[in-house]
Structure 1
Amino acid sequence: MAMSHEDMLKRARQLKRQKTSTPGASPSAPPPRIELHEEASEPDLEALTRRSRARAPLHTADDTELSFWHPQFLHSQHSRKHNYLRHDVNLLRAQDPQTLHENLLADLHRAEASSIMLMDQFNLQSTQKSLDLEQKDRALALSKTETSRLTTEVAKLTTQIKKSDELLADLQNQLKVLEAEKEKWVLKEKDFLHNSELLKDQIGSSLNMGFQLALEQVRVLYPDADLSPADISKTVVDGQLVDIDD
């Protein structure tokens, strides 16, 4: 037999009055957060003892409050004191035991199915995270390999660039030496050209002087000879004086 709306309201009021009158309880305080770790083999009993103030406490002989998670916590005693009221007895006795049993089995079935579904989701997420992690590890390994290869290649290129810079510096020094040598040869060429012109002038003067001396000797030897056609710029061709082309 299901609870009526009036029975549910009575039940809620009774629970509220009983929780309000519980000594040491704090209705507005949030429930304590108990962290569970898979690798922890033994619970921290001291922490479980300290964190029980926000929940309905169970006092030990030395008046220490225990948490629900403490191994010495008496769940049956706690349930009878806080979750099983006089009104519950009347309501439960009025219902069919078979119906109560079926409802209890249904609730257990729902809880079991829900836990299996949650575990499946957890396993699926864990598997996906593992696959993602493996993929990231592979990508990281490839990235490290590529980084190592690029680092080696950069080192080789750096060495080649250094050698090229040294060779370029050597060639630049050689070029400077050759340019200095070139300037010296240019100056020497200018000196040679200048000296060549001077020599040409000297040779021309010497020829003119020798030609004039020869004419004077001919005049002495042959006073009646006509030497006016004679000129240093002429040559003898077939017994005739002919001008020399420049």
Structure 2
Amino acid sequence: MAMSHEDMLKRARQLKKQKTITIGASPSSPPPHIEFHEETSEPDLEPLTRKFKSRGRKIVEATSQHSTSQIQLAPHILANLHKAEASSFMLMDQFTHLSTQKSLDLEQKEQSFVLSQTENSRLAAEVIELTTQVKKKDELLVDLNNQLKALEAEKQSWNLKEKNLLNSSELLKDQIGSSLNMGFQLALDQVRVLCSDADLSPADISKSVVNGELVETDD
């Protein structure tokens, strides 16, 4: 049966679609060359059919081998993926633990720093207070030293006055003693005049009259 020109065009388009859909076909393989003739004789399609069948078997075998290798490699890949996932989880846990520990350490250090600052402030305030107290004590000590010096000077002045008074007292005693002796002698002179026969030798200014007798008086 002879193929018309339209039938030959349809066949060519079908072959072109099969070549485009075929997976794994070599891109370097030249497309089948089909000559179109307007002759009414039927073309010989058997060589072309054998060629496409052979190429289809090769594609099926290559696809089957690729699928088999993927199936064989899948468990190994899955095992590696599981190991990688476990390692990732372990690393994440370690990172989380280290981050938490670091946060706790940082918080403790911050608390210690705040406590240290508070203690330093308290100690600084105490130092300032003690410095003020020491300054006041020093001022008081200076004042007391000045007062002590003034009292020592005043003491020396009083000692000098006392010494002068003692000297004056001794002078007064001497003067009083001299006055008494002088008065006693004057009295004896008057007694001698009045009683010329009287013995006045026992008379002494240092004696006292006790029971009608002259008695030595203790100093």
Superposition TM-score tier, normalisation by shorter sequence:
0.5 to 0.7
- In the alignment, does 2:187 pair up with 1:217? no
After superposition, the CA RMSD in angstroms is 1.8
Structure 2 alignment gaps of length 5 or more: 1-64
Of 148, 156, 161, which residue of structure 1 is paired with 2:129? 156
Q: Give me the TM-score of the superposition, normalised by structure 1.
A: 0.58
After superposition, residues 167-182 of structure 1 pair within 5 angstroms as 167-182=140-155
Equivalent position of 1:186 in the other structure: 159
For 2:204, what is the secondary structure of its paired residue? coil
Q: Summarize the alignment of residues 1-246 of structure 1 with structure 2, pairs less than 5 Å apart.
A: 96-246=69-219
Distance 1:158 1:192 in 2: 50
Counterpart amino acid of residue 153 in structure 1:
E
| Runs (4+) off by over 4 Å | none
The whole-number CA distance in structure 1 between the counterparts of 2:80 and 2:212 is: 153
- Number of aligned positions between the proteins: 154
Whichever residue aligns with residue 180 of structure 2, its letter is L
TM-score (norm 2): 0.65
Q: Can you list the C-alpha shifts for 1:67-125, whole angstroms capped at 9, x where unaligned?
A: xxxxxxxxxxxxxxxxxxxxxxxxx97x8432212212222221121112111111110
* Structure index of larger Rg: 2
Q: Say which structure is richer in helix.
A: 2
- Measure the CA separation in 2 of the matches of 1:177 and 1:211: 50
**Could you tell me the percent identity over the aligned residues?**
69
Q: Kindly state the Cα deviation for residue 136 of structure 1 after the two structures are TM-superposed.
A: 0.8
The amino acid that maps onto 1:133 is L
